[in-house]
Amino acid sequence: MAGQQQTHFLSNLVGISGHAGAIVFAPQEYNAGMLSVREHVLTPTATLAVDVVVFTLRPDTVERAWQVLLVPRPDPWSISRRALPGVLVDEDETFDEAARRALLVKTGIDARDWYLEQLATFGSPTRDSRGRVASISHIALIQSDNIKIHPVETDSPAEWCPVTAIPWSDLAFDHAAILREAINRVRGKVRYAWVLFQLLPPIFTMSDLRAAYAAIRDPSVLNMSTSNVRKLFRRLIDDQALVAVGKRAEARGRGRPGDLFRFDGPLTGTWDRELPW
């Protein structure tokens, strides 16, 4: 009899719809020969948004080459003057689609082919004074060549800002916390993953690669010789993830022209050990 009652209970678990703007699950409980229904109504408690931390490497000193994209606030009365590109998520799009749309509508940039990954969810009840908004933050890594930024919501376009000169007190909402998390993620990830190649031009030298690591990890990396840098990346060369494509036409400074390389490895590739920087 007990087994029959258990089977009867499981067979009467049903999902009920029909409440406007809500999903109702009503488990039918078997109790002393009577069926009692307890409804669980799922109602929205927060609005979902995406915010995108866009990193690039730009021609500058090693201390200022690693930069992030910040957009001006459209509200003239706002205390904070800068923010990360972000939008509310439409009900018919994925978070990644919303992140790419954010870059288009906030900066005028088509980001369909950019490297993008989810960073974290930021959901403090007080992060937005206008209401409960949870942000699914993302990181985008792009090459700065041929990127044209257009003003969209204000007369001022989004601007690149060196990571070492971020105006932390001017950032809106909890974007300072999002940005710090993104900086730590990228600084750590370039030691064991190949994502840094997404910031380099299609064709580069070992000197370019060394400068990229110096900008993100530690300026002292510039003191390492290019031959030692090449030894660290020997496995990628042997596995054809780094493909030699010739030599630079002219040498930069003293010495011979550097070998030119192209990265053909997967975005998700990782080192067999962490880099020493």
Dump pLDDT digits (tens) for 213-272: 999 998 988 888 888 888 888 877 877 788 888 876 555 555 566 789 999 888 777 876
Q: What angle do CA 148, 161, 64 make, to 5 degrees?
A: 110
Taking residues 189-207, report their average pLDDT.
Answer: 91
Positive or negative: CA dihedral 261, 264, 270, 271 = negative
The highest-confidence range among 5-14, 15-24, 91-100, 245-254, by mean pLDDT, is: 91-100
For the chain, what is the largest distance between any 2 Cα atoms, rounded to a whole number of angstroms?
92
CATH 3.90.79.10 fits 47-189, yes or no: yes
Query: Pairing relation of β-strands 40-42 and 242-247?
Result: unpaired
Q: What is the CATH number of domain 195-263?
A: 1.10.10
Query: Pairing relation of β-strands 242-247 and 259-263?
Result: antiparallel
The highest-confidence range among 36-45, 59-68, 75-84, 234-243, by mean pLDDT, is: 59-68
Predicted model pTM? 0.79
Which residues, including other chains, have CB under 8 Å from residue 92's CB and lie 6 or more apart? none
> What letter represents residue 50's amino acid?
V
Helical H segments across 26-158, by residue range: 95-107
Q: Report the alpha-carbon distance of residue 159 to residue 129 in Å, rounded.
A: 25
Give the model's confidence band at 19: pLDDT under 50 very low, under 70 low, under 90 confident, else very high: very low
> With 60 as the cut, is the pLDDT of residue 196 above it?
yes
Q: According to the model, what pLDDT value does residue 154 have?
A: 66
Give the model's confidence band at 25: pLDDT under 50 very low, under 70 low, under 90 confident, else very high: very low
Residue 206's Cα: distance from chain center in Å?
26
* The pair of three-digit structure tokens given for residue 172, joined into one six-digit string: 């809106």
Q: Where along the chain do its domains lie? A: 2-42, 47-189, 195-263
CA quadruple 165, 170, 175, 177: dihedral, nearest 10: 60
> Side-chain half-sphere of 210: how many Cα atoms within 13 Å?
17
**Shared fold status for 47-189 and 195-263:** no
Digit-coded pLDDT (tens) for 73-111:
877 666 668 999 999 999 899 999 999 999 998 988 888
The highest-confidence range among 54-63, 66-75, 222-231, by mean pLDDT, is: 54-63
The phi-psi region of residue 185 (left if phi > 0; otherwise alpha if psi is between -120 and 50; otherwise beta) is alpha
